[in-house]
Amino acid sequence: MKQTLSQSLLGYSQSFFSKTVRAIMPSRALSGVLCAVACLGGLGVVEWPSPGLAAHPVKDLEREPRLPLALEVSLKKPYSRLYELHVHLTNISAEPVSVDVRDLPWTPPNDSKWLQALRLEGEHFPLTQTSFLGNFGSRRIRLLPGESVQDRIVLNYQIPSLWDDIQQTGILLQWDCPPPGLKFVCQEDAPHSVKIPKGDPGQPDVYITDEPLCRKLQDGIGLISIPQDHDVLFLLTSESVMMDLAKVQALLYEVDDYVRQCQPRWTNSWAVSFFTETKFAGFVSDLENQPYFEKGLWQQANIGQYASQIRTLFRFPWIRKKANSVYLSVYRRPE
């Protein structure tokens, strides 16, 4: 089963967290690659019943106006018996909008506080949800008109009894629109609920990709591998490319094209780890990489990291005199 980033972080080296601190915990996108804003200050798990729907969902808007970011939610089944909510926030205004990643609907503890999960039969008893506690830091991203930021909530992790409840009664997922406690509005005419019927077999969604095109795109970006259960790409990239921001930007546009056309299970929150040699590609926590790390070889080969959700490129993160970070978006206005 796929891991969320919050869970996969637990197995990753704490030493890297102190160098490039991260703030997009709920996504699988970095999956142990980056710590982009603040190191974990003690990661824990909390459980609570699903929230009741608010009687007055816009009660405090006068004190803190909502951002013109429209919320859309859809149910996905990328693999057998795996249920995900894909959540999109799109700038529907004519001006750029800035939002802090800690306020996004999938960032703990927000992920469990706006979504209500109920059994379909009887008194629609609310289901217990779990979320992760920790210091997730703060980082602002800037969305141009029409630009979106996306991520997922893995329901199997958030609702521990999910599969049993689906088989016994079915589940209703619903939310207020606009959602109380969040700063966003809702996409016009977007649904505010999703039903998973009783006895749903959990058959995965069917995706069709153009394999010859995907192989061509893989070769073009220098794809080494994609680690299982993570939305991360390991790329073979030269230092000369990493030193030239225009070349990195062009490469990331190509990566975005590849993800859109060849990874239909992903959202637009993914990560890249750049290596100068293929044998070093992987997480530092991988057993085969630990001897390289101890000798300093892995750090020399790992010349960059990119996180699409926070639109940030980290160059030469292990070399103090060369390390820097650059805000870099892959968004392109439709022609």
Q: What CATH number is attached to the domain comprising 184?
A: 2.60.40.2970
Say if residue 136 is in the same domain as residue 108. Answer: yes
Say if residue 236 is in the same domain as residue 179. Answer: no
Residue 227 CB neighbours (<10 A): 19
> pLDDT at position 190, please?
85
Domain end, chosen from 136, 161, 196, is at 196
Domain end, chosen from 165, 196, 227, is at 196
> pLDDT at position 56, please?
41
Q: In the chain, count of helices (H) and strands (E)?
A: 10, 19
> pLDDT at position 39, please?
30
Kindly state the tokens that stand for 81: 């018996």
- pLDDT tens for residues 299-331? 999 999 999 999 999 999 999 999 999 999 999
Say if residue 140 is in the same domain as residue 191. Answer: yes
120 near 195, Cβ under 8 Å? yes
- Alpha-carbon torsion angle 54, 57, 61, 66, nearest 10: 120
In a domain, 8, yes or no: no
Say if residue 230 is in the same domain as residue 138. Answer: no
In a domain, 283, yes or no: yes
Say if residue 54 is in the same domain as residue 166. Answer: yes
Which amino acid is present at 53? Answer: L
Q: What are the Cα distances from residue 46, in Å, to 104, 141, 182, 195, 295? A: 18, 27, 19, 25, 39
Q: State percent of the chain over pLDDT 70.
A: 80
> pLDDT at position 29, please?
57
In a domain, 161, yes or no: yes
Mean pLDDT of 127-155: 89
> pLDDT at position 131, please?
79
> pLDDT at position 55, please?
39
In a domain, 17, yes or no: no
Q: How far apart are CA 89 and CA 31, in angstroms?
A: 21
> pLDDT at position 112, please?
80
* pLDDT-derived band at 6, boundaries 50, 70, 90: very low
Which domain does 181 fall in, by range? 45-196
The pTM (predicted TM-score) of the whole model is 0.83
In a domain, 23, yes or no: no
> pLDDT at position 294, please?
94
329 near 140, Cβ under 8 Å? no
Between 246 and 13, the more confident residue is 246
In a domain, 205, yes or no: no
- pLDDT tens for residues 45-82? 555 555 654 434 444 444 678 999 999 999 999 999 99
Query: 148 pLDDT exceeds 70?
Result: yes
> pLDDT at position 48, please?
52
Say if residue 163 is in the same domain as residue 105. Answer: yes
* pLDDT-derived band at 130, boundaries 50, 70, 90: confident
> pLDDT at position 50, please?
58
Say if residue 228 is in the same domain as residue 107. Answer: no
Place of tokens 């030493």: 15
Between 181 and 103, the more confident residue is 103
Mean pLDDT of 218-228: 97
Say if residue 118 is in the same domain as residue 235. Answer: no
In a domain, 40, yes or no: no
Say if residue 175 is in the same domain as residue 49. Answer: yes
* pLDDT-derived band at 36, boundaries 50, 70, 90: very low
Mean pLDDT of 240-266: 98
Number of domains in the chain: 2
* pLDDT-derived band at 238, boundaries 50, 70, 90: very high
Q: Counting beta carbons within 10 angstroms of the beta carbon of residue 20, is it exposed (0 to 12), middle (13 to 18) or buried (19 or more)?
A: buried
Say if residue 305 is in the same domain as residue 218. Answer: yes
E strands, the chain, in order: 21-22, 35-37, 44-49, 69-76, 84-91, 97-100, 116-119, 128-133, 140-143, 148-154, 171-174, 185-186, 193-196, 223-225, 232-236, 271-275, 302-307, 312-315, 324-327
State the chain's mean pLDDT as an integer. 84
> pLDDT at position 334, please?
84
| DSSP structural state of residue 234 | E
Domain end, chosen from 129, 161, 196, is at 196
Say if residue 192 is in the same domain as residue 257. Answer: no
Between 33 and 236, the more confident residue is 236
In a domain, 223, yes or no: yes
Say if residue 185 is in the same domain as residue 241. Answer: no
Q: How far apart are CA 268 and CA 309, in angstroms?
A: 7
